[in-house]
Amino acid sequence: MVIRRLIVEANLDKQYDYILIDVQGSRAELIANAIVATRHVIAPIELSEKGAGSIDKLESYIDRQEHTLNQELRAIGGKEATLKIIGVVPYGLSHGTGNFQTLQNDEKHGLYNLHVKGKSVTPFGVPEAGAINDSLSNKMTLREFIERDDTRDLRNSSCEQVIMKRFEQLADLVEDGHVSNLSGPYTAAAVFDEYNGEFKDEEKEAEIQPQRRNQNNKAAAPYSADD
């Protein structure tokens, strides 16, 4: 409760509509504090078998934190809380659009693992780009890094504009509190309605999606960063 108590005592929850806490994935105590403080988690993930397994571990971890938190809240007569993952965001994608239709086969395998497990995967991914690390190294926001003249030689403008669009979509995800479009043309489900490769598993998919949606069977339109 340390971080949450600091937020409440400083009235930060009254000053801001949203507070984002970005924590290092290997610091268990800090993760627990961040989850309890915010109650909502956005989970970035690499599209690999290991990455898909890490979401299962994160969900189990969140369940344990929720159980412990509610025990403490009940002991002091407080209202019980719900901790949850509001979205799983694939990142570091090989294609510069972050479009699931253009994933490499190993990435499709990772996306497939998330799909058959019924995870709330965002209808978009974040492409691999040095601009994110470069902006952090230069202690700038990504927007500042993209718009400043003195960083022009470090940038790849086409990819960065896509990333800015993705960040805007992430902001919408935070505002909505959940992944709102799981049946559009660029979702995990749509990719595997179209995909007939070695990772296809009709039986597993039927357990999660017994009825296919018509829109998922339509060919996806060409992608642009404005979609």
Token representation of residue 122:
């965002």
Does residue 211 register a pLDDT over 60? no
Confidence of residue 182 (pLDDT cuts 50, 70, 90): low
Confidence of residue 121 (pLDDT cuts 50, 70, 90): confident
What is the model's pLDDT at position 216?
A: 39
Characterize the bridge pairing of strands 126-127 and 40-45: unpaired
Rounded to the nearest integer, the mean pLDDT of the chain is 77
Any idea where the domains of the chain sit in the sequence? 39-217
Token representation of residue 36:
């309890």
Average pLDDT over residues 84-104: 84
The CA-based angle 178-120-172, given to 5 degrees, is 35
* Residue with the larger pLDDT of the pair 52 and 17: 17
Q: What is the distance between the alpha carbons of residues 79 and 82, in angstroms, rounded to a whole number?
A: 10
> pTM of the predicted model, to two decimals?
0.72
